């Protein structure tokens, strides 16, 4: 049933793929880096689909031939069984590839971790979350670029914003990381606790697609840009000039700031990158109030009652409350081994998308 639903409209995808192939062979396209990157990303996304469709067509023809021969000569029956199994595997792969998905899934991502309830302990937990993501991202061969951070006296993070870049156009970074968005709750004995009591605190994670400057137009007249002196660690000279930048988007009220770079120009570019991502997330949220579970799971306030996940240190337990995932390997997860949890979230999302596609066709 799923295969029949998902397979409809595949000729349009093949036509789009061939059109992209033609465009990408034009040297003029590669003169525009943003256009070339955008077309290349979509081409890479469609390539496994087109290959799968071609494989399905060939296997279907081979199976028909094998069945005809088997009706006359039983020795061909085994070959028909093998071809049928291979076709079923291709159908399964195509079902996953063709299930309706967020068009931003194959983009790079911008993540923000913000401390919430719990004071200094929450900020230390925000640092632990950043370390967990940094190790996972490194294990995938991806790269992190810290755009802005504000540290506390004990070395935690009030907030840290970073970009995640893939190694190739087929890396679905946003699609992989977006379900990390939401409130993460921790239960442990804080380093600031002298009586050994377990405390509960929280940190918030926001995940956004990283858009090119040409893909979202921001009117300069809608911006108020302030410069100020950087604070906190940053090396000699960073705190002696007005290099930090704060940008306020007047229509929406969104405010972003960046002070990690020593150059005011670099900080402004990073802040604009963060603003584009924030505006995209805001527009999506307002437009849909998010019919998608991915957007619903992301919160703008850090309230323990809206938690998506709990990290229980005394029991070495991690639990994701959206899908009922539970494991007693918190130490391993914090060391960057997130794949089992992320796979479970992706599988739950796929099942939901397939169910919606089936309902929509009935």
Is 295 within the bounds of a domain? yes
Is 361 within the bounds of a domain? no
154 and 41 in one domain?
no
Domain count, the chain: 2
R_g of the chain computed on alpha carbons: 24
* Amino acid 362: pLDDT: 56
139 and 188 in one domain?
yes
Task: Note down the domain range covering 164.
Answer: 109-351
- What is the average pLDDT value for the chain, to the nearest integer? 86
Higher pLDDT among residues 86 and 196, named by residue: 86
Residue recorded with tokens 């943003």: 34
Q: What percent of the chain has pLDDT over 90?
A: 57
182 and 310 in one domain?
yes
Which of 6-10, 60-64, 295-299 has maximum average pLDDT?
60-64
117 and 182 in one domain?
yes
Is 360 within the bounds of a domain? no
Rounded to whole angstroms, the Cα distance separating 264 from 247 reads 12
CATH number of the domain within which 147 lies: 3.30.70.1660
Residues 6+ apart with CB under 8 A from 123: 115, 152, 154, 156, 157, 158
Is beta strand 182-188 parallel, antiparallel or unpaired with respect to 307-312? Answer: parallel
114 and 92 in one domain?
no
Q: What is the pLDDT of residues 175-206, one digit of tens each?
A: 999 999 999 999 999 877 767 788 899 999 99
Residue 289 pLDDT exceeds 70: no
pTM recorded for the entire structure: 0.80
Please say which residue of 98, 123, 157 terminates a domain.
Answer: 98
169 and 302 in one domain?
yes
DSSP state of 190: -
163 and 60 in one domain?
no
* Amino acid 300: pLDDT: 42
Rounded to whole angstroms, the Cα distance separating 169 from 298 reads 25
Residue 313 pLDDT exceeds 50: yes
Is 276 within the bounds of a domain? yes
Give the strand order in the sheet containing 182-188: 143-151, 157-165, 109-115, 199-209, 182-188, 307-312, 317-320, 325-327
* Amino acid 3: pLDDT: 52
**CB neighbours of residue 213 within 10 Å:** 12
DSSP state of 302: -
259 and 154 in one domain?
yes
Residue 39 pLDDT exceeds 60: yes
Rounded to whole angstroms, the Cα distance separating 127 from 134 reads 10
Please say which residue of 75, 98, 121 terminates a domain.
Answer: 98
Q: What is the mean pLDDT of residues 129-143?
A: 97
DSSP state of 155: S
Is 334 within the bounds of a domain? yes
* Amino acid 48: pLDDT: 92
87 and 119 in one domain?
no
């Amino acid at each position: 049933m799923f295969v029949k639903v998902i397979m409809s409209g595949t000729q349009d995808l093949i036509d789009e793929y061939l059109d992209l192939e033609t465009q990408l062979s034009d040297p003029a396209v590669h003169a525009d880096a943003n256009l070339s990157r955008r077309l290349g990303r979509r081409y890479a996304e469609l390539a496994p689909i087109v290959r799968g469709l071609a494989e399905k067509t060939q296997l279907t023809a081979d199976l028909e031939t094998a069945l005809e021969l088997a009706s006359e000569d039983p020795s061909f029956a085994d070959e028909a069984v093998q071809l049928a199994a291979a076709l079923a595997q291709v159908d399964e792969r195509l079902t996953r590839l063709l299930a309706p998905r967020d068009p931003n899934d194959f983009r790079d991502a911008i993540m923000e971790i913000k401390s919430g309830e719990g004071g200094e302990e929450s900020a230390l937990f925000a640092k632990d979350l950043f370390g967990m993501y940094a190790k996972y991202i490194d294990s995938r061969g991806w790269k992190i670029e810290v755009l802005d951070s504000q540290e506390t006296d004990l070395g935690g993070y009030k907030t840290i914003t970073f970009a995640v870049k893939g190694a190739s156009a087929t890396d679905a970074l946003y699609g992989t990381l977006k379900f990390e968005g939401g409130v993460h709750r921790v239960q442990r004995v804080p380093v600031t606790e002298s009586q050994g009591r377990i405390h509960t605190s929280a940190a918030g994670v926001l995940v956004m697609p990283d858009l090119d400057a040409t893909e979202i137009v921001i009117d300069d007249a809608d911006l108020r840009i302030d410069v100020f002196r950087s604070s906190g660690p940053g090396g000699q000279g960073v705190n002696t000039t007005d290099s930090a930048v704060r940008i306020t988007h007047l229509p929406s009220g969104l405010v972003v700031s960046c002070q990690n770079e020593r150059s005011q120009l670099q900080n402004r570019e990073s802040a604009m990158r963060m603003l584009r991502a924030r505006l995209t997330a805001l527009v999506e949220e307002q437009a849909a109030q998010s019919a998608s579970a991915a957007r619903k799971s992301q919160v703008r306030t850090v309230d323990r009652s809206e938690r998506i996940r709990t990290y229980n240190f005394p029991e070495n337990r991690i639990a994701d409350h959206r899908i009922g995932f539970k494991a007693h390997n918190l130490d391993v997860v914090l060391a960057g081994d997130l794949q089992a949890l992320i796979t479970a979230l992706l599988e739950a999302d796929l099942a939901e998308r397939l169910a919606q596609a089936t309902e929509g066709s009935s």
